Structure 1
Amino acid sequence: MGGNGGSGTNADKRPNELLGSWFVRSGWSKGELARQVNRRARQLGANHISTDTSRVRRWLDGENPREPIPRILSELFSERFGCVVSIEDLGLRAARPSPSTSSVDLPWTGPQTVALLGEFSRSDLMLARRGFLGSSLALSAGPSLIEPMQRWLVPTPGAPAVPEPDSPLDSRRPGRLSKPELELLESTTRMFRQWDAQCGGGLRRKAVVGQLHEVTDLLQEPQPGATTRKLFKVAAELAELAGWMSYDVGLQPTAQKYFVLALHAAKEAGDRPLGSYILSSMSRQMIHLGRPDDALELIHLAQYGSRDCASPRTQAMLYAMEARAYANMGQPGRTKRAVRMAEDTFADAEEWDEPDPDWIRFFSEAELYAENSHSFRDLAYVAGRSPTYASLAEPLMRRAVELFAKDGEHQRSYALNLIGMATVHLLQGEPEAGTEYASRAMTVAKKVRSERVNNRIRKTVDTAVRDHGDLAAVVDLTEQLAVDLPDAEAV
């Protein structure tokens, strides 16, 4: 029974009309949904899951599958429809996870942040091996997400003061970490970030989670105030990176939880620019999940919280993400204004005489072109596949592709922008050029372990087949897809 995800009690079953409605609108066959569930289960390490068409039929007939299948179905339908489709929306019985492991509304205190970071990273490492990663998590959206995040800027009442670096209190607290050891932790985080950019989130995610867990252990030991702040900063960067890698491989609830914990750690570190960067990652996830209104709230919170302390490069990145949110909301005037602000503010970064933190160095000229081109591309889709906005995206996207090709290090970004060029050409009614860029993207994708990249390629190929299925170049592209990026079941 466990291998098929059945509930074990089927008395008085009634057809699950909610699940049936989502299923019909998805356009999937029962076999296709079964294959997607199996593929996602294997990504989670849940190798005991083996679903087939008869099992899908039972779910539609009213059988309640065991975890993690309800969570998997929620993620699959959320991605299919570009919005959060909860377990309740699917008419499936939801488990009652404990607030300590599932909620994003967490206490903003240092000791509890350390405890929750340690608990969650340990669970991630342990449960991933047993095949239940993410089964107790649910995505938060709307007020249940935004309102807790707004407390990022609220001073914590009654919080004990953290000793200043030169405080006499520091000398009374024997810290275990030396300065070279702290620098090694920081350099290791930078190395993980480079690996992620080059190889995708799938290859080093567990290593990052393991390092995060080690840092939380250090935070539970007596340390001088300055050391504690630096450790919280390292923990915030590692938690954000663990969240980003989880997002990249499709573990959306897990990613959100890490982002939230990262924001808590950044607050303890007193690093508001880092907090704004974490909020931008959360915003990007909300755009991916079809929640641009939530994305805009998060970006505005990030801008408000770091307006007097973030570097021009960081502020330019926030403007670019603001443009993405407005574009997905179908607001061209505000999109164009935010794009201009991103460009103007990025120009100021060239004259900035202070070194940027490592976490924002990714936001290069190539990334600026990429984000702004994606804003116009997204606007084209929202406006009913508008060739006008696609034509605004095309030169920016082309420049991003050229710069990432020269860069050689950010392979995932290179692949994503090749896909972006493919979609722009498809929007402009140029399928031959679109298939050429999609083919190049597949070649790069084979070097990167990123489910996000793979899914975008599959969706782009689906679009090409739908609109130009008889074209020889599109037929060749589908054959390349079957060879280069086969479904897990075909491997």
Structure 2
Amino acid sequence: MNSIGSQSSPVPPEVWEAPKMREALAAREISSVYRLLRQHGVSQRQIAAATGQSQSEVSEILKGRQVMAYDVLARIADGLGVPRGYMGLAYDDLTAVRVAGAHEASQTKESEEVKRRKFLARAAAVTVGASVLGADDGDWVSNPVRTPAPGRIGMTDVRQVEAATRALRSLDYQYGGGACRDAVVAQLTWGQQMLAASSSDAVRTRLHVALADLHNLAGWTSFDIGLNDPARNHFGRALELAKAGGNEPLVANILYRMGRVYLHQKEPDDALKIFQLGQIAAQNCGSELAVSVICANQAWAYAMMGHKEQTMKQLGRARSEFERANLAEAQDWVKFFNETDLTAMIGTVHTVLAVTADPKHTRFAIPALQKAIDSFGDNMARSKMFNMSALATNHLIEGDVDHGTKVGRQAVNMAEGLRSKRAIDRLEPLGKEAAKRRNNSDAADLADIISRMFAA
């Protein structure tokens, strides 16, 4: 009786080490994988039982049907006992160590200001200069140990990268960067090795853009959990790849996200410089929506500096550019910025002005934030939490302590359910306003809870 296919170990580990099997796994050619398993005596029934597929599905794959969905590929790998790294999937411990360990542990001990200046110089060179892909990478890109790569790639391979990026971005929105960051970084081991494969010019251009967006997501999720040096590394590489792919809207998106890192670090002056570079890219591509995103974030930076006039000017331009934008034709990199996001930004900016310049801005912040909160779905839990925290802060500033602490508790509960350091950090203004009102027991409790969250 053939023991291959037992529940405890569907396939002996040595099967995955054969050269032909490794090639098929690296290329994600599941039909070839299944045919090789059949040669090792694994039946269709056993494959189906291990992977959770029907025998008819297994039969169709054996006949050549492609498998592209990331979740299905992951289920097949886990069910059959394939090391995920062999398929360029994430996440397993070995892949994580190979990809993330060596480079991120070796970041130089430079001051944060020096690092910001270096990134700004690099961003300027990419945004307003020629493509610099592969030139003087230095600290901008890591060199993970690579799994075997196909010799030639086509659009199917690029679409796999794009599909994985979309799936992982959804996880980030809903659960925070900590839920998927390692998976994003590990996915880059599969994506980056494609740069060495042969392909048509059209495929290579689209690959550059796909990998740029994957690095963009790696930077964003790194930032979300407080890994600022790796975030800079990924954003820098994303810029170069997006420029090489000739995609100015994506360049603008990457710069907007890096600017947000500096806003979070309370460095609005440096954030403005990054946003100004993003504005160049947004205007170059003629995207009103991309310009709107940048203007809204410039307004945020000016509000942090207490410059009310410049803030309102940028906020007004953000509204007018949004109204002119053709949302139906917007590219994926900027399509996320819909009316709900604009409303949330308006509420956020007025909240900052209420804290830094004039408490009367709560009258504009509160309705905008409440409207955004009501519009965000469960798949945007982190964004909803940010707005809940800001809403509570405004109610406290207005003197409505009871309602402010009630909403604040909701924001805290939401933050605790996210794997996001940024979510905890965004509670800081709420904690400060609550601490000012310690004569109210509920406000005192809220301030203490937030303080403990920061300590933890």
Give SS of 1:468's match: coil
Distance 1:158 1:196 in 2: 27
In the TM superposition, residue 159 of structure 1 has moved relative to its aligned partner by: 10
Judge conservation of contact 1:175–1:224 (CA < 8 Å) in 2: no
Distance 1:219 1:308 in 2: 27
- Kindly tell me: are residues 458 and 126 of structure 1, through their superposed partners in 2, closer, same or farther at Cα, counting changes over 3 Å? farther
Residue in 1 aligned with 2:421? Answer: 451
Q: Deviations over 1:152-207 (max 9, x none)?
A: 121259999xxxxxxxxxxxxx9722322322221111111111101100011011
- Kindly tell me: are residues 326 and 136 of structure 1, through their superposed partners in 2, closer, same or farther at Cα, counting changes over 3 Å? same
- For normalisation by structure 1, the TM-score amounts to 0.65
Give SS of 1:330's match: coil
In the TM superposition, residue 408 of structure 1 has moved relative to its aligned partner by: 2.0
Residue in 2 aligned with 1:183? Answer: 159
Q: Does 1:203 align with 2:172?
A: no
Q: Does 1:401 align with 2:401?
A: no
Judge conservation of contact 2:133–2:241 (CA < 8 Å) in 1: no
Map 1:254-273 onto structure 2 (within 5 A). Answer: 254-273=230-249
Pick from 394, 400, 409 the counterpart of residue 424 of structure 1.
394
Judge conservation of contact 2:95–2:186 (CA < 8 Å) in 1: no
- Kindly tell me: are residues 296 and 459 of structure 1, through their superposed partners in 2, closer, same or farther at Cα, counting changes over 3 Å? closer
Residue in 1 aligned with 2:45? Answer: none
- For normalisation by structure 2, the TM-score amounts to 0.69
Distance 1:409 1:157 in 2: 37
Give SS of 2:179's match: coil
Task: Mark the runs of 5 or more structure 1 residues left unpaired by the alignment.
Answer: 1-121, 161-173
Pick from 414, 417, 421 the counterpart of residue 384 of structure 2.
414
- Kindly tell me: are residues 210 and 432 of structure 1, through their superposed partners in 2, closer, same or farther at Cα, counting changes over 3 Å? same
Residue in 2 aligned with 1:437? Answer: 407
Distance 1:289 1:157 in 2: 28
Distance 2:225 2:258 in 1: 15
Pick from 170, 183, 193 the counterpart of residue 169 of structure 2.
193
Q: Please give the root-mean-square deviation of Cα atoms over the aligned residues, in Å.
A: 2.9
2:337 maps to amino acid: F
- Kindly tell me: are residues 280 and 231 of structure 1, through their superposed partners in 2, closer, same or farther at Cα, counting changes over 3 Å? same
Distance 2:230 2:298 in 1: 24
Judge conservation of contact 2:251–2:278 (CA < 8 Å) in 1: yes
Q: Does 1:474 align with 2:450?
A: no
1:370 maps to amino acid: A
Higher helix share: 2
In the TM superposition, residue 453 of structure 1 has moved relative to its aligned partner by: 0.7
Pick from 365, 379, 382 the counterpart of residue 339 of structure 2.
365
Q: Deviations over 1:304-352 (max 9, x none)?
A: 1231414332221111111112212222111111111111221223x45
1:389 maps to amino acid: H
Give SS of 2:427's match: helix
In the TM superposition, residue 365 of structure 1 has moved relative to its aligned partner by: 1.3
Residue in 2 aligned with 1:82? Answer: none
- Kindly tell me: are residues 430 and 159 of structure 1, through their superposed partners in 2, closer, same or farther at Cα, counting changes over 3 Å? closer
Distance 1:246 1:472 in 2: 37
Judge conservation of contact 2:390–2:430 (CA < 8 Å) in 1: no
Task: Mark the runs of 5 or more structure 2 residues left unpaired by the alignment.
Answer: 1-93, 136-149
Distance 1:478 1:324 in 2: 25
Residue in 2 aligned with 1:145? Answer: 119
Distance 1:142 1:399 in 2: 35
- Kindly tell me: are residues 288 and 159 of structure 1, through their superposed partners in 2, closer, same or farther at Cα, counting changes over 3 Å? closer
Distance 1:207 1:157 in 2: 27
Map 1:251-330 onto structure 2 (within 5 A). Answer: 251-330=227-306
Distance 2:412 2:169 in 1: 23
Residue in 1 aligned with 2:356? Answer: 382
Q: Deviations over 1:203-252 (max 9, x none)?
A: 11011001112111111222222221111111111111111111111111
Distance 1:137 1:206 in 2: 23
Give SS of 1:363's match: coil
Distance 1:305 1:362 in 2: 18
- Identity over the aligned pairs, expressed in percent? 29
